[in-house]
Amino acid sequence: MSDAEVITRIENGVGRITLNRPKAIHALNRPMCEAMTEALLAWRGDAAVQSVLIDHAGERGFCAGGDIRMIAESGAGDASEAKAFFLAEYRLNHLMFDYPKPIIAIVDGIVMGGGVGISEPATIRIATERTTYAMPETGIGLFPDVGGGWFLPRLPGQTGVWLALTGARLKAADTVALGIHTHFMSIEGLEDFKDDLFYASRDPKPVADANASNAGPAPLDDYREAIDRLFAFDTVEEIFAALEADGSVWALAQLAILKTKSPQSLKVSLRQIRTGATLNSFAENMAMEYALGGRVVRTHDFQEGVRAVIVDKDNAPKWSPADLSGVTDETLDALFAPSPDNEKWTPLA
């Protein structure tokens, strides 16, 4: 296989993009985003390409996120490199969202953060028994970007809020039940699916439908009522109070998890999701997240979260402010302010 971090080629009418950075679980960097964008733009008007398949090399996972170390190092300075990465990444996300041909993402193994951003816009999203999905950003002082403000509030009930705030990890039975992924296939069945897709060179949905199997019962079903009831509030303080008042083992476990997260990130993420639910286009959401991301990466909590989880790995971040009361509406307003006209995010032409 090529040493390139992204391998692109056309196979019998299917444009194929293979993520090829397995030692980093295909964590996205700017050249990878640009390589994917270049291929998608070339295939967009190519009549020889009927659909696009995104898969990955190796067995550890589809994509563990973005290059967090680089983003943190840039955020410690002027954040210019981080913003350049976000610009390229979010343009790729939007290009996929509006793509005129079906995109298939095989979401096998770990899919988090940036990996969600390059799979959720796909028409067909295939999970396997190895799939582990999460948006764990509140644990590193960030927020669920790459379109999370659009996708998460459009999940059933309040499950998107719960996922964003807690960083909960889901397996395939739950992701398929929630519509995060559209199909379940066993690992053994993936090659048959690919063979059928390349042979058919047509609408991939019937091919996926024919190769899919039942993911099994969804464990989260037992907690959906509680999630919808306890995470329905517009302030994090009210969610905390509701969980404490409920008093069940599950509710108190969620509260304990939330208390380990960045208070600033919890409030930012909830506002992001509630705002995203009101927006009329994916592009509007990406513009919001771009302005927000360029500011959040320069905050204490993001720098501290990356130190604790990624660099030193002591998993003992010291958040500042240390509790919800210290995160004011004025702080949030400043983080969510629109970008100046000359710095706004724009989609690719």
Do residues 54 and 106 touch, judged by C-beta distance below 8 A? yes
For the segment 213-217, the average pLDDT, to the nearest whole number, is 97
For strands 183-184 and 132-134, give the pairing: unpaired
Question: Is there a domain that residue 34 lies in?
Answer: yes
CA–CA gap between residue 348 and residue 134 (Å, rounded): 28
> What is the rounded radius of gyration, in angstroms, for the C-alpha atoms of the chain?
20
Query: pLDDT tier at 2 (50, 70, 90 boundaries)?
Result: confident
pLDDT in tens, 318-336: 999 999 999 999 999 999 9
| Annotated catalytic residue, options 67, 145, 174, 289 | 145
Mind listing the pLDDT tens digit for each residue in 76-104? 999 899 999 999 999 999 999 999 999 99
Report the alpha-carbon distance of residue 239 to residue 270 in Å, rounded: 10
Q: Are 93 and 117 in contact (CB under 8 A)?
A: yes
Residue 19's pLDDT band, with cuts at 50, 70 and 90, is: very high
Out of 61, 114, 160, 276, pick the active-site residue.
114
Choice among 61, 66, 148, 294 that is catalytic: 66
Residue 1 placed within a domain: no
| Catalytic site includes residue 109 | no
Neighbour count for residue 286 (Cβ, 10 Å): 29
pLDDT at residue 67, as a whole number:
87
Annotated catalytic residue 244: no
Determine the pLDDT at residue 200: 77
Nearby residues of 174 by Cβ (< 8 Å), 6 or more positions away: 218, 219, 220
Nearest in space to 26 (alpha carbons), one of 49, 58, 51, 2: 58
Span 249-258, mean pLDDT? Answer: 98
At 298-309, the pLDDT tens digits run 999 999 999 999
pLDDT, position 309: 94
Counted domains in the chain: 1
If you average pLDDT over residues 186-190, what whole number do you get? 95
Q: What is the mean pLDDT of residues 281-289?
A: 98
Paired residues of 56 in beta bridges? 19
- Which residues fall within 8 angstroms of residue 91, CB to CB, at 6 or more apart? 33, 37, 347, 348
Determine, yes or no, domain membership for 21: yes
**Given a cut of 70, is residue 201 above it in pLDDT?**
no
Q: How many helical (H) and strand (E) elements, i.e. helices and strands, does the chain have?
A: 16, 9
Whether residue 246 is predicted with pLDDT greater than 70 in this model: the reply is yes
Residue 256 lies in a domain: yes
- CATH number at 239 reads 3.90.226.10
- In terms of DSSP bridges, do strands 132-134 and 110-112 run parallel, antiparallel, or are they unpaired? parallel
Within-domain flag for 240: yes
The answer, yes or no, to whether residue 177 has pLDDT greater than 70, is yes
Using pLDDT thresholds of 50, 70 and 90, give the confidence band for residue 290.
very high
pLDDT of residue 162: 98
pLDDT at 1: 60
Element (H, E) at 19: strand 14-19
- Residue 349 within a domain: no
Q: Is residue 289 situated within a structural domain?
A: yes
Select which of 55, 120, 137, 174 is catalytic. 137
Can the peptide bond before residue 321 be classed as cis, meaning omega within 30 degrees of 0? yes
Which residues constitute the domain of residue 172? 6-343
